[in-house]
Amino acid sequence: MRRRTFAAAVTTAATALALGGCGGDETGAGGGKPYIAIVSKGFQQQFWQAVKKGAEEEARRQHATISFEGPATEADVEAQVNMLANSIGKKPDAIGLAALDSRALEPYLKKAQRSRTPVVAFDSGVDSDIPVTTAATDNKAAAAEAAQHMAKAVGGKGKVAMVVHSQTAGSGIDRRDGFVKWMRAHAPDVELLPVQYGGGDQTKSADITKAIIASNPDVKGIYGSNEGSAMGVIQGVKESGRTDVATVGFDSGQGQINAVEEGRMAGAITQDPGAIGRQVVRASLAAMKGKKLPEVINTGYYWYDRHNIDDPEISSVLYH
């Protein structure tokens, strides 16, 4: 089935991840080309690698230069703050930003505004009027679809838990709230357990999952709100020795694809990370020229499971 909508010091590991773009160098010099500094929420997960690839491809088409970096984990707000500060110091022509914590980044957003450097938000919105647009999935709608499939997987009743990657990032908030809202409106016999937060870290999310199962042996389903969360849920269920707990996720890294194909995950929402990366570059170049942009550039989403995972429109947006 297809659903798509439109409308402090940086760690050594994180530093090594930076500047993976199209000819970007440490000074940010674009060699006469427009230079876009892109700061993501992370770098290691396949989702971010796919966003990076899309941005690089579009930059080559548009004869622009980019850098692309993100912290080692999506819980490392301090590292991201430093990355944004350093990016502004390179005097880019535009900035792409997927914010982990809008409040922590606000002073640097204001600095970019003062220097008249347009900021394009991506993946999730920034709680600020400074970004000129946001390129993202409709996370609330996508989470509602995940909830719908979870309700079906548990037979419309019983306990369902949620392992969410963030309570400060817009994507985490929306993927939590969209899931909860749909369940409350359409599945009154599903009992939602208190939300747990794992920072998008697979090991932490696995530990949380095992604790949930130990405290609630009658839990029937667990939802993971991003790649790291979903993989942690899958791991935690396996390590708990349970085969009767339905798992539904978000994103489509190779581990999740394997889990769906092997029947260990009922299914998940996949975004279109390549489209997100491309739109960041397109919007940045348009903003440099003073063009008016929509408030949101909706990049779409799909539900995939073992029945449709090989469909061309699905396989083309999986992150492997």
Domain boundaries, the chain: 12-136+273-299, 139-271
User: Phi, psi (5° rounding) for residue 227?
Assistant: -60, -50
User: Phi, psi (5° rounding) for residue 6?
Assistant: -130, -130
DSSP states of 256-315? HHHHHHTTSS-EEEEE-HHHHHHHHHHHHHHHHTT----SEEE--EEEE-TTTTTSHHHH
220: its two tokens: 């029937």
User: Phi, psi (5° rounding) for residue 115?
Assistant: -85, 5
Contact status, residue 165 vs residue 225, Cβ threshold 8 Å:
yes
Q: What is the pLDDT of residue 45?
A: 85
What CATH number does the domain located at 139-271 have? 3.40.50.2300
Other beta carbons within 10 Å of 274: 20
In angstroms, the Cα distances linking 299 to 45, 68, 190, 225, 274 are 19, 19, 30, 18, 9
> pLDDT averaged over consecutive 10-residue blocks of the chain (320 residues)?
36 36 43 93 90 97 97 92 96 97 93 97 89 96 98 98 94 97 98 97 97 98 97 98 97 96 97 96 97 96 97 92
pTM score, two decimals?
Answer: 0.84
Hey, which CATH number is domain 12-136+273-299, 3.40.50.2300, 3.40.50.2000, 3.20.20.70, 2.40.50.140?
3.40.50.2300
User: Fold match between 12-136+273-299 and 139-271?
Assistant: yes
Q: Look at strands 301-304 and 267-271 and give their pairing.
A: antiparallel
Q: What is the pLDDT of residue 13?
A: 35
Q: What is the pLDDT of residue 30?
A: 58
252's enclosing H/E stretch is none
